[in-house]
Amino acid sequence: VPGPGCAGGGLPPPTPEEPMGQVSQTGQIKINDFLFDPEGADDGKEFIKLYNEGERAVDLANWSIQTRSGTSGSVSKKNFESGMTIQPKGYFLIWLGPNDQANMVWASGSLNNASGTIYLVRDKKVIESDSDPDVEDKVFYEKKKEAVSAEPPPGAFLKNLYWYKDPNSDVRFID
């Protein structure tokens, strides 16, 4: 069941001044966060979460989510379906594998465990480059290998890397 601010019914009809689905080129739908290479098997644990920074709902029916493995791999794509919307200041959860609580399931989708790029595209066509004009948002991620001493300090442990977006930059950092 989608959470508040996610896809679903009950949207007011668009007004002529603000047609639903029209998004400014500055981008109001963002890739908010995602999980790649979770501990253990990846099946059914990876996700991508979108956020609508705008003041109105956006119809995603003609959009797609796309991923590229590594820096030069092929692009995989999942189209959003008719009726899928993201509410203002709301989230939209895409699960890569089975999940009853996601707004959209991409059963065959997966994120490369080493590095890749996630694209939110205002079209259903496969993008040709990172600079495709229909790319609403994109995130490059890379798993960093850190040196680990043979004897870690007391209380130290390894944890999954968490990636986030600096609001002033397209560069993602490791926490």
In 3D space, the residue among 13, 109, 97, 2 whose CA is nearest the CA of residue 59 turns out to be 13
Cα gap 87→4, rounded to integer Å: 8
Weakly modelled stretches of the chain, pLDDT under 50:
1-26, 148-150, 152, 156-175
**Cβ–Cβ under 8 Å, residues 20 and 85:** yes
Contact criterion met (CB below 8 Å) for 64 and 106 = no
pLDDT, residue 89, reads 94
pTM, whole model, 2 decimals?
0.69
Instruction: Give the pLDDT of residue 146.
Output: 60
Which one, of 81, 79, 72, lies nearest residue 125 by Cα?
79
Distance CA 18, CA 10 (A): 17
The one-letter amino acid code at 31 reads I
Strands (DSSP E) found in the chain: 29-35, 46-52, 58-59, 64-69, 75-79, 85-86, 91-96, 104-105, 115-121, 135-142, 163-165, 172-174
Q: What pLDDT shows up at residue 2?
A: 40
pLDDT at position 98, please? 86
* Rounded Cα distance, 104 and 84, in Å: 8
Angle at 24 between CA 18 and CA 30, to 5 degrees: 115
Which pLDDT belongs to residue 132? 93
CA angle 161, 164, 165 (to 5 degrees): 155
Structure tokens at 128: 């040709």
Give the Å distances, CA to CA, from 60 to 65, 78, 83. 10, 12, 8
Residue 15 has what pLDDT?
43
